[in-house]
Amino acid sequence: MSKARRTPSGGLSLCWGHSYPPRVPRPALVAWLLVVLLLPAACADEGSAPPATSQPAAGPTLDAAAVGGATTPVAARPRRSEAPLPAYDGVTLEGEPLSLSELLGKRLLLMFFNPDVDSAAVMADAVARLAGAQGEHNFRIVGVAMSDEADEARRFLEKHGLTATSLHDPQARLLNRLRSGGAPTGLVLADGEGYVVQKAIGRFPTDGPDPVGLLEDLLREWLRVPEQAGAGGLLERPKAPDFDAVPLDGDETFRLSSLSGRPVILIFFLHTCPHCHEALKAIRATLDGLPEEQRPPIVGVSVRNQPTAVRGVLKDEGLDFFPVVFDPTEKVAEAYGTGMTVPVIYLLDEEHRIVSRTSGWREDRDPALLKMRLHRLAGSAVPMLLHSKGYSGDEFCGVCHETQHATWQLTNHASAFDTLVKHGASHDPECVGCHVVGWDQPAGYSLESPQPALEGVSCENCHGRGGPHLSPGFVEGHDYEKVCVTCHNPTHSLGFEYASFLPRVSHAANQRFARLRGAELEAFLAERRKPRTDLLPSQAAYVGSDACQGCHAAEHQTWSEQPHARAFATLEGKGKSGDAECLQCHTTALGKTGGFDLAASENPGLAAVGCESCHGPGGDHVPADAAKHGTILSLGDKCDSCVILKICGGCHDDANDPGFEFEVQDKIDRQRHGTIEPSSGEAASHAGPPEGRAPISSHAPPALPPTAAIGLLERAAGDAS
């Protein structure tokens, strides 16, 4: 999952799946927003899931429901808890009318700005760094200028390298509907359905070492846009920067290297933060349970330069058990890329390389996870603190299984949930089940109670809840094929062959790639992400679309009215009918047995993107005595996003049709034919829309934009003027 984090060396600890050192939980981002809007520093929100425990429960055996596969009944889509964007019709800086309803379908990042406010420049620079990712990651940036003069707003956008469409809203009507009271700047992220999923409204910090970088990191987390890989490999721990600091007690300057040869606990904290207090209590409790000679020293870096207040609070709370240093110039925080969230905990090994990073504090996960990590850091036996009744997530597994965790991050499984977010399917129960851990199982992932730690296809999908420790009978005889096919079935994974797919996810097979670095790692991952092009059968001969018409007249008629039927004619009109590269995607089966032949005088039924371009060769299907089932690829029962998109993507790629993958549903609907109810990624059963809203069919063109069903167009639905 695209959790990109800055490291002290200026690169990334890891991306594409989970950060390494382990990822920052989503609640830490909430804390950052509180920092931005309310306080100079703040704490992370707590989760509400049951705490981890070392008491194991009886482990399950493999079944489709436990894995969350296709045989699991599809749950009704629950009502969304997020607020929808308000209805808003306005004008752009150029004076053109624009309604928010016109912007649905892609994720929408609204940037509210007033050029006269100093924090607007920081925000605009951070947003500009993400502007180039809009197409690939399916989001759109739209400005909302709250200045009186449109020309001033245009100059501001140009100065900061932004070419985004911008609404002109000098009275801040839209922002005030999102938050009562005026605010100088703001960022709002809505998903493709129009629900507000992230929001930061207020003044953004303008001082400090890198305010633009901090906000960029936040936006990358929101949008799940990874940075490029750093110079190191997945198994290479980044070196912790050495630093000098002023101690709370004593006159001698503290230097981190004075602890060289010993593992270290480094915690950035705010003395008034209750979550910092809980983290310190958890650290002390763990250290008390270790032999004294194995206890790593702890160093606290106070984010406030207030010695008297810090000393007093720590004493009153009974937390004055560790040395404290101050960072008045924020150079230490800059070197470690801590941002403004507290607490931030780094565990350093004997060479002072970063083993793990915890940002924020979740009482339901972090005490157990930190205890396991500290025991491993100290060289002590690691206690098995897995969730006794639910799922723990990959971070717990990665404490001991470091190499396996790194090789997993090389797989597409690691970013499986990010794929749903990018395609606007992260709330679709028909899709989510195969992209998360413990779908609709006790203490597993659910739409009613989503857990970021369980996003993606990770350890417990394949090895069972808690792995062999809690589910020893989950997989028998290392036969993981039974696990794979619960999701990799004909409806969702065309052409799945266990033997050929296994090396792409096998820890052993991928171990040699875990040490790739920098550009080599980027190239490897890019190759892994490429869509397959060998999905269609290849043994039979092609016969042309005319041969299909006799039995499939209605389908042939639908096809004949679509652009695919005129694909060769478009080449002729451009004078490219002899261009072999173009003919690959404008004819049927160029150069294959029975396929289009440029040297032939006639190519009946082949001079187009015909039936067999999508359904495969019909040579074994059309003869009168041929078996009709299993000799041609039926697509009516296939998932549009999982299967049909991949077939289309061979030609409709970024080079020839950028953005197609995010528009495929509409384009398929226009030419859908056949009699089998499609599996489109839309749930068969949905909870009704909010009271007073008209339901919208997933296939029939709606009378109103889809937002009418969720409240974006209250006026159109009759709720607002």
**Residues 343 and 24: beta-carbon distance below 8 Å:** no
Specify the 3-state DSSP secondary structure of 677.
coil
Long-range CB pairs of 73-76, under 8 A, 24+ apart, other chains included: 74/429, 74/430, 74/433, 74/683, 74/684, 74/685, 75/429, 75/440, 75/447, 75/683, 75/685, 76/429, 76/683, 76/685, 76/686, 76/687
DSSP 639: B
Cα distance between residue 494 and residue 111, in whole Å: 41
Task: Report residue 248: phi and psi, to 5°.
Answer: -65, -40
**Residues 76 and 686: beta-carbon distance below 8 Å:** yes
In this structure, are 212 and 323 located in the same domain?
Answer: no
Give Cα 653 distance to the centre of its chain: 21
In this structure, are 214 and 242 located in the same domain?
Answer: no
In this structure, are 296 and 412 located in the same domain?
Answer: yes
In this structure, are 168 and 242 located in the same domain?
Answer: no
Amino acid, res. 217: D
pLDDT digits (tens, 9 = 90+) for 113-153: 999 999 999 999 999 999 999 998 999 999 999 999 999 99
Task: Report residue 459: phi and psi, to 5°.
Answer: -50, -50
Tell me whether strands 298-302 and 264-269 are parallel, antiparallel or unpaired. Answer: parallel
Cα distance between residue 213 and residue 221, in whole Å: 12
Q: Identify whether 370 is part of a domain.
A: yes
Task: Indicate the Cα dihedral angle 214, 219, 222, 224, nearest 10°.
Answer: -100
Please list the alpha-helical segments (H only) found in 454-566. Answer: 459-463, 467-470, 481-484, 498-505, 507-510, 518-529, 553-560
Tell me whether strands 97-99 and 166-168 are parallel, antiparallel or unpaired. Answer: unpaired
Q: Identify whether 11 is part of a domain.
A: no
Q: What is the CATH number of the domain that holds 452?
A: 3.40.30.10
Long-range CB pairs of 532-535, under 8 A, 24+ apart, other chains included: 532/495, 532/646, 533/650, 534/495, 535/494, 535/495, 535/643, 535/646, 535/647
Residue 672 token pair: 């859908």
Identify the domain boundary among 197, 223, 249. Answer: 223
Cα distance between residue 635 and residue 643, in whole Å: 8
pLDDT at 534 (0 to 100): 67
| Cβ-based neighbours of 376, under 8 Å, separated by 6 or more | 382, 399, 400
Q: Which stretches in the chain have pLDDT values below 70?
A: 1-76, 180-182, 228-232, 533-535, 537, 674-721
Q: Identify whether 72 is part of a domain.
A: no
pLDDT at 516 (0 to 100): 87
In this structure, are 389 and 431 located in the same domain?
Answer: yes
DSSP 641: I
In this structure, are 164 and 251 located in the same domain?
Answer: no
In this structure, are 483 and 337 located in the same domain?
Answer: yes
pLDDT digits (tens, 9 = 90+) for 476-534: 888 899 999 999 988 888 878 899 899 999 999 999 888 888 888 888 888 887 777 66
**What's the structural domain count of the chain?**
3
In this structure, are 307 and 427 located in the same domain?
Answer: yes
**Residues 115 and 152: beta-carbon distance below 8 Å:** yes
The parent domain of residue 173 ranges over: 89-223
Amino acid, res. 682: E
Sign of the torsion angle spanned by Cα atoms 298, 303, 304, 309: negative
In this structure, are 208 and 242 located in the same domain?
Answer: no
Cα distance between residue 94 and residue 165, in whole Å: 9
The residues pairing with 113 across neighbouring beta strands, listed in sequence order, are: 145
In this structure, are 376 and 423 located in the same domain?
Answer: yes
The residue assigned the tokens 């250290």 is 287
Identify the domain boundary among 493, 527, 561. Answer: 527
> Cα 261–263–265 angle (5° rounding)?
140
Q: Identify whether 288 is part of a domain.
A: yes
**Residues 465 and 454: beta-carbon distance below 8 Å:** no
In this structure, are 197 and 312 located in the same domain?
Answer: no
| Number of CB atoms found within 10 A of residue 51's CB | 14
pLDDT at 109 (0 to 100): 98
Best CA proximity match to 226, nearest among 445, 432, 423, 409: 409
- C-alpha Rg value of the chain to the nearest Å: 28
Q: Identify whether 191 is part of a domain.
A: yes
Terminal CA-to-CA distance of the chain, rounded, Å? 42
Identify the domain boundary among 496, 527, 558. Answer: 527
pLDDT at 319 (0 to 100): 97
Give Cα 356 distance to the centre of its chain: 21
Q: Identify whether 707 is part of a domain.
A: no
The residues pairing with 112 across neighbouring beta strands, listed in sequence order, are: 144, 186
Give Cα 290 distance to the centre of its chain: 38
Q: Identify whether 720 is part of a domain.
A: no
In this structure, are 307 and 212 located in the same domain?
Answer: no
Q: Identify whether 696 is part of a domain.
A: no
pTM of the model: 0.78
